[in-house]
Structure 1
Amino acid sequence: MDYASGGGGSGGDHHHHHDASDRRKKRYHRHTAHQIQRLESMFKECPHPDEKTRLQLSRELGLAPRQIKFWFQNRRTQMKAQHERADNCALRAENDKIRCENIAIREALKNVICPSCGGPPVGEDSYFDEQKLQMENAQLKEELDRVSSIAAKYIGRPISQLPPVQPIHISSLDLSMSSFGGGGMVGPSLDLDLLPGSSSTMPGLPFPAMSISDMDKSLMADIAGNAMDELIRLLQTNEPLWMKSPVDGREVLNLESYERIFPRANTHLRSPNIRIEASRDSGVVIMNGLALVDMFMDANKWVELFPTIVSRARTLEVISSGILGSQSGTLQLMYEELQVLSPFVPPRQLYFLRFCQQIEQGSWAIVDVSYDIPQENQFASPCKTHRLPSGCLIQDMPNGYSKVTWVEHLEIEEKAPVHRLFGDLIHSGLAFGAERWLATLQRMCERFACLMVTGNSTRDLGGVIPSAEGKRSMMKLAQRMVSSFCQSINPSNGHQWTTLSGLNEFEVRATLHKSTDPGQPNGVVLSAATTIWLPIPPQNVFNFFRDERTRHQWDVLSNQAPVQEVAHIANGSHPGNCISVLRKFEQAFNTNQNNMLILQESCIDASGSLVVFGPVDLPAINIAMSGEDPSYIPLLPSGFTITPDGRPGNQQQIQAAGGDGASTSSNAAAAAAVMGSGGGGSSSGVGGRSGGAGGSLITVVFQILVSSLPSAKMSPESVNTVNNLIGTTVHQIKAALNCSTTTS
């Protein structure tokens, strides 16, 4: 088959005129048989040739590199169409097979006899009623068509090629969960929905079918282009658009100047319930600009880069691809859910356009702007969020660093009151502001940099120092644990947390989900959480939780036994950013003790901190330490999130810890200075009050394997157990920090 080349399209006006404009039109010609044969053979070897290969083909065949590029694009499109036709044939054959099976069943029913008397059966089982069979057949066909269309569109291969889910049965894990207070909780059903399987992707999240016309794409391109122009002005203009807040020194938007420079036709129609969140921040991160751009434009890497903020993300449609093999010019329609790590704050849902443009050599701008699409299938969020032009400017610096300037600009309409504990944090704009995005980006880029460094842990397990591969494997295992923990706080499909009744003076909320991921224990998992306020600076609370010497003061499940850190891997310049392996102290002297260890990751930046942990047996740790793939090591994480309460005094202290983002190392040093002990684990002075500097919002999350049966429901006994577990933990935390009389 011959392929037209030269302009990237086919067809066109073939009438020849003699005016100058027509002479400038590109001429289309057919490739020779030799050229097509050579291109076809290369396509079989490599359907996506790189620029070097395309240049080599260009010289060999006497074609322009652009012609080579478009030939491969057209050939890939043709192959995709052929695969889709083959898939449709396979689906039709599957439907025919179902139809034949039903006909055979009906024929067999005509000859059925009673086994007792040998005569025809008395009455007819309604299950085999012909009309019901036809209805079921129609439902099966609809379901098959629906799943197949989703597979073809989002997975990219026929449904027949999808790998089967392999359940994991590890008896030691079930026993370990029981020993940690969560085994065997099966009983009468409680009115609590069972969520579908958990996943690092987006399980069962319904999306409207995308049907985007050329007119829609043109409109999207116009919206994205205007948004990019606005973002660049927001990034490059200081006063009068931006001003320093007199309260905490943050850069905030001057709304009067903004509306004068960017007038909007419907500004006067804005609901009085809508409020604006707008902030800007800049800093240096330890990652080069191209790598950052690639991660930002990939939805999965976007979630991986911001696990504490973005609980889910998905690219719904690529409207236009980048030019010359780069991301510049890429426009895509995306969906994401943003969260504060507490069940008391509902997630924010956003449909938006993301557009990347290279401004100059070594400088890129990425803009996000909301785009409304039908949302009948989406769950209703109590917080309606509209993103005005927001995004970042990424500028390459020497030695693999980048300077990032970040702008967040949101219109928020809350349909329900903000929880009283989070009022200051949310309404100040800190919860989803530019400062939080940038601080998280700096910390995660440091983590990725540590992942690449071939260094050993500072302390080892049993005298065996892990190799560079072992260190990377442990870091990947801990990263998956933290991501799973963050996603557990925002259940999928819009299911809300259920408030449990109990004797505690604070709210405990719970949710059930069916765990099906290879990296999680198989069965039904109960997640329970609460958030409390304490009048103690967040850094001091973080010190307390991550110090193994004070763990017995709050860890109910350790039976007040001291623990010992037996392995330690740094994953950032701040001493508090690390991965630890812990074991009960008596295990070091008693070989009869079980081999259950605790994997823990702690991390801190200017926006808050996390301490996440989960039980892991010794063989699993040895697998990771040896450098093997840790993807199938089951984890069920619990832990704490520590967030500043948003009060002005506390934010000044956090700003001092975060600095102005001039460098990641200076940020870490400043944060360490604020912590006093340098994050080294000392708990001295932890119980001291904040002296008017604000306090901390602490979210306590426990996940427990309720049952290995996929259909189990939570029993009243489970409610009491988890209420007591969280209640006792909170009381012990308050007692250890001298806050026993503090109300939440």
Structure 2
Amino acid sequence: MFQPNMFENHHHLLDMGHKSPEDELDIIRDDEFESKSGTDIMEVPGSGDEQDPNQRPNKKKRYHRHTQHQIQEMETFFKECPHPDDKQRKELGRRLALEPLQVKFWFQNKRTQMKAQHERSENSQLRAENEKLRTENIRYKEALTNATCPNCGGPAAIGEMSFDEQHLRIENARLREEIDRISGIAAKYVGKPMLTYPHLAPTPGATSRALDNIVGGSNNFAPQSGIVGEMYGASNDILRTFPRPTDADKPFIIELAVAAMEELVRLSQAGEPLWIQNSSHISEVTLCQEEYMRTFPRGIGPTPLGFTSESSRESAVVIMNHLSLVDILMELDKWTRVFAGLVSRALVLEVLSTGVAGNKNGALQVMTAEFQVPSPLVPTRENYFVRYCKQQADGTWAVVDVSLDNLRPNQIPRCRRRPSGCIIQEFPNGYSKVTWIEHIEFDDRAVHSIYKPLVNSGLGFGAKRWIATLDRQCERLASAMASNIPAGDVSAVINTTEGRKSMLKLAERMVMSFCSGVGASTAHTWTTLSGSGSDDVRVMTRKSVDDPGRPPGIVLSAATSFWLPVPVKRVFDFLRDENSRSEWDILSNGGLVQEMEHIANGRDPGNCVSLLRVNSANSSQSNMLILQESCTDPTGSYVIYAPVDVIAMNVVLGGGDPDYVALLPSGFAILPDGQGTNGGRMYEMGSGGGSLLTVAFQILVDSVPTAKLSLESVATVNNLIKCTVERIKSAVICDTQ
């Protein structure tokens, strides 16, 4: 828990440069200047420290009145940066025909004036709260004095007042807490008392509504490929239940963000004994918790009872400009697109600062997000946190997150993040070196047993997964922005770069839709069809209305996860290969699958977008087009696909807008099982350990959004997904024997 006045050198979050002691302390020296309503500055030749106190000044004091234009310009600058450094003062003085010292004095006056106004406002609020407390106490005393027995009408006995007394105690305790909080703010103490967390009971599995509630009249079953996508029509209502910060909370948030930034930078540079070699996990180093608590004794409090601590640090050189990386991390839409496999949902609750000088330096925002593993068997980790971005003195950029759970003491989180984030260093030729740090505390008792080794290894939510995802996505973005068609592409129908970009954009939407719907997000209501085994099928229904990117009607989503004694690479290569597709894809109906387009979007040959044509064995059936993206990195792999309309796809290939192509994405998420040899590092070579495979489909069961689901449809999709699983198991296990 951060204590009062512990960061006395960081009172001003938006300070972008070095400040002199006078700037830091905001002191107006009477022997240097006086102010008249913030517009007149009295100038004295030399400071009082340089003159004999017994010697009378040989010149009269002179006053300088700023022009209205000068005041307006400095007022505007003050709103963005109340603490300009020497360079900024000189530049401002040059533009306004003022000496840097005059600019300095004006800003000191302005800060003092603002501080005085703020303190007057706080004092007024404090007096009002005191009066409220006094009035409430008088009212309660009168109520106690005049209380009567409800049975006889006489004076109430002490024992009969126990309920009222308890109510009064609770109310008075609340009022005392409120007045103490305001008093603390008025005194500039922004620390919070350390919270104690009771032992957490095991989190029960999400209770799904019974099938009786989602099954209605009979419907014809019309299978159409697809997989779990976003929850159609779902909003961020659950995320919006997190509190917006009050004005009283903001000083605490600022102090917490500044301290978290300092901690992140130190963690990125430290070695032993703070970071120690780790042979039992995927990450090569982990924090020594005893040394960590000695180095950073003040923080967000001790690890809650029953929580597991996970820490990791990874570095990589990625193909992206450092400022573009900062924009991705600080812009919600970009961040959720790049990390779609990790971030199921996110919301910015409040922006406290947008930064200064036209960039993200000093940007500060309060957020909430769900982090996920692509399987219904791993609960998402909901975080309520502040994100702070700052350029360091050496030119590097840092972005840090830290949990704000102390601002909602009545709710016990299942997960919280100690200072986590990344340091971004500029490299030549548009490259950047990124050092990522994740320090998480979580309750893993709701994680299914087959996924616990993966989660505990750090491959589920640790720094390795964040950095591997970022590296792969940077390659994908570089491919999408290519101004010509690279030699690695195989094209039969795309002749323009516009068509190539449209196809990549459509594939990106397909991947995001898959990732947002395959996990255990709180926006989903999964129903387990049978038993409690890991490979049981889970289903949910969604309704699509007036969405040009999805077919209208009722969609049934189904997913299952299971373990395979086969390395990730073997499963990934089998599922993405069009030549082996007929071995598992029931919809291909034994037809020949041909790759018409192939767009490479990464160093690994498995990272690509393809357009497949299924030539049906039955001449009476029309051919089918399938859009597919496969991607892989050391922490996992995906094969995601969706049938596409031929006419709509021709528009996309010609460079048309892909947003109006209706998709129901299906696919596979293939993760290592966390039990490989040598701490799992053989997964990177694809030759060790087993795989955790999640299979998911989407079925359009009725084109009428108001229709209900039939038991027949549920049974059909259950059989469909189980048949697919058996085919995959048979094919990949037999091939390895």
* TM-score, normalised by the number of residues in structure 1: 0.67
Q: Secondary structure at the match of 2:590?
A: coil
1:67-78 equivalences under 5 Å are none
Q: Which amino acid aligns with 1:426?
A: V
Q: From 588, 601, 620, give the equivalent of 1:571.
A: 601
Work out whether residues 498 and 509 of structure 1, in 8 Å CA contact, stay in contact via their aligned partners in 2. Answer: yes
Matching residue of 1:731:
726
Q: Secondary structure at the match of 2:599?
A: strand
1:691-730 equivalences under 5 Å are 693-730=688-725
Matching residue of 1:508:
537
1:560 deviates by: 2.2
1:195 deviates by: 9.9
Report which stretch shifted further, 255-264 or 549-558. Answer: 255-264
Quick one: distance in 1 between partners of 2:99 and 2:699?
A: 62
1:351 deviates by: 0.6
Matching residue of 1:117:
none
Q: Secondary structure at the match of 1:631?
A: helix
Matching residue of 2:584:
554
1:361 deviates by: 5.3
CA distance 1:283–1:559, shift in 2 (3 Å): same
1:632 deviates by: 1.2
Q: Secondary structure at the match of 1:704?
A: strand
Quick one: distance in 1 between partners of 2:681 and 2:95?
A: 65
Q: From 294, 311, 326, give the equivalent of 1:260.
A: 294
Quick one: distance in 1 between partners of 2:612 and 2:318?
A: 31
Matching residue of 1:274:
307
1:635-655 Cα offsets, whole Å, 9 max, x none, are 100000100000141754446
Work out whether residues 502 and 720 of structure 1, in 8 Å CA contact, stay in contact via their aligned partners in 2. Answer: no
Quick one: distance in 2 between partners of 1:523 and 1:301?
A: 29
Quick one: distance in 1 between partners of 2:292 and 2:435?
A: 18
Q: Which amino acid aligns with 1:613?
A: Y
Matching residue of 1:389:
419
Unaligned stretches of 5+ residues in structure 1 = 1-6, 8-15, 37-55, 71-175, 184-193, 658-673, 676-689
Quick one: distance in 2 between partners of 1:177 and 1:369?
A: 48
1:308 deviates by: 0.5
Q: From 669, 672, 693, give the equivalent of 1:644.
A: 672
Q: What fraction of aligned residue pairs are identical, expressed as a percent?
A: 47
Quick one: distance in 2 between partners of 1:624 and 1:308?
A: 25
Matching residue of 2:555:
525
1:215-364 equivalences under 5 Å are 215-247=248-280, 248=282, 250-264=284-298, 270-360=303-393, 362-364=395-397
Work out whether residues 196 and 204 of structure 1, in 8 Å CA contact, stay in contact via their aligned partners in 2. Answer: no
Q: Name segments (4+ residues, structure 1) moved above 6 Å.
A: 28-36, 56-67, 373-378, 502-505
Quick one: distance in 1 between partners of 2:680 and 2:517?
A: 31
Q: Which amino acid aligns with 1:235?
A: S
Work out whether residues 343 and 369 of structure 2, in 8 Å CA contact, stay in contact via their aligned partners in 1. Answer: yes
Q: Secondary structure at the match of 2:421?
A: strand
Q: Secondary structure at the match of 2:609?
A: strand
1:2-42 Cα offsets, whole Å, 9 max, x none, are xxxxx9xxxxxxxx996425359963889879999xxxxxx
Matching residue of 1:616:
644
1:53-72 equivalences under 5 Å are none
CA distance 1:34–1:368, shift in 2 (3 Å): closer
Q: From 498, 510, 513, give the equivalent of 1:469.
A: 498
Q: Secondary structure at the match of 1:219?
A: helix
Q: Is 1:22 the equivalent of 2:7?
A: no
Matching residue of 2:154:
none
1:404-553 equivalences under 5 Å are 404-414=434-444, 416-456=445-485, 463-490=492-519, 493-501=522-530, 506-516=535-545, 517-553=547-583
Q: Secondary structure at the match of 2:648?
A: helix
Q: From 232, 247, 252, give the equivalent of 1:197.
A: 232
1:211 deviates by: 5.2
Matching residue of 2:54:
none
Quick one: distance in 2 between partners of 1:420 and 1:571?
A: 35
CA distance 1:61–1:19, shift in 2 (3 Å): closer
1:250 deviates by: 1.6
1:35-184 equivalences under 5 Å are 178=222, 180=224
**Structure exhibiting the larger radius of gyration computed from Cα positions:** 2
Work out whether residues 438 and 462 of structure 2, in 8 Å CA contact, stay in contact via their aligned partners in 1. Answer: yes
Work out whether residues 207 and 377 of structure 1, in 8 Å CA contact, stay in contact via their aligned partners in 2. Answer: no
Unaligned stretches of 5+ residues in structure 2 = 1-14, 16-27, 41-64, 73-90, 108-219
1:203 deviates by: 4.5
CA distance 1:405–1:19, shift in 2 (3 Å): same
Quick one: distance in 1 between partners of 2:472 and 2:324?
A: 16
1:455 deviates by: 3.0
1:454 deviates by: 2.3
Q: Secondary structure at the match of 2:658?
A: coil
Work out whether residues 300 and 314 of structure 1, in 8 Å CA contact, stay in contact via their aligned partners in 2. Answer: no
Work out whether residues 645 and 694 of structure 1, in 8 Å CA contact, stay in contact via their aligned partners in 2. Answer: yes
CA distance 1:364–1:266, shift in 2 (3 Å): closer
Q: Secondary structure at the match of 1:20?
A: coil
Quick one: distance in 2 between partners of 1:503 and 1:272?
A: 28
Q: From 615, 619, 643, give the equivalent of 1:585.
A: 615
Work out whether residues 303 and 441 of structure 2, in 8 Å CA contact, stay in contact via their aligned partners in 1. Answer: no
Quick one: distance in 1 between partners of 2:347 and 2:697?
A: 28
Q: Which amino acid aligns with 2:702?
A: S
1:672-723 Cα offsets, whole Å, 9 max, x none, are xx35xxxxxxxxxxxxxx6xx3100000010111222223332211211111
1:26-63 Cα offsets, whole Å, 9 max, x none, are 63889879999xxxxxxxxxxxxxxxxxxx99999989
Work out whether residues 644 and 651 of structure 1, in 8 Å CA contact, stay in contact via their aligned partners in 2. Answer: no
1:313-352 Cα offsets, whole Å, 9 max, x none, are 1111011231212211111101110000001111110010
1:511-567 Cα offsets, whole Å, 9 max, x none, are 112224331112221110001111111011100001000000010111122211111
Quick one: distance in 1 between partners of 2:494 and 2:226?
A: 33
Quick one: distance in 2 between partners of 1:275 and 1:257?
A: 17
Quick one: distance in 1 between partners of 2:641 and 2:596?
A: 15
Report which stretch shifted further, 440-449 or 513-522. Answer: 513-522
Q: From 654, 658, 665, give the equivalent of 1:626.
A: 654
1:102-147 Cα offsets, whole Å, 9 max, x none, are xxxxxxxxxxxxxxxxxxxxxxxxxxxxxxxxxxxxxxxxxxxxxx
Quick one: distance in 2 between partners of 1:394 and 1:443?
A: 17
Q: Which amino acid aligns with 1:510?
A: V
Work out whether residues 366 and 391 of structure 1, in 8 Å CA contact, stay in contact via their aligned partners in 2. Answer: yes
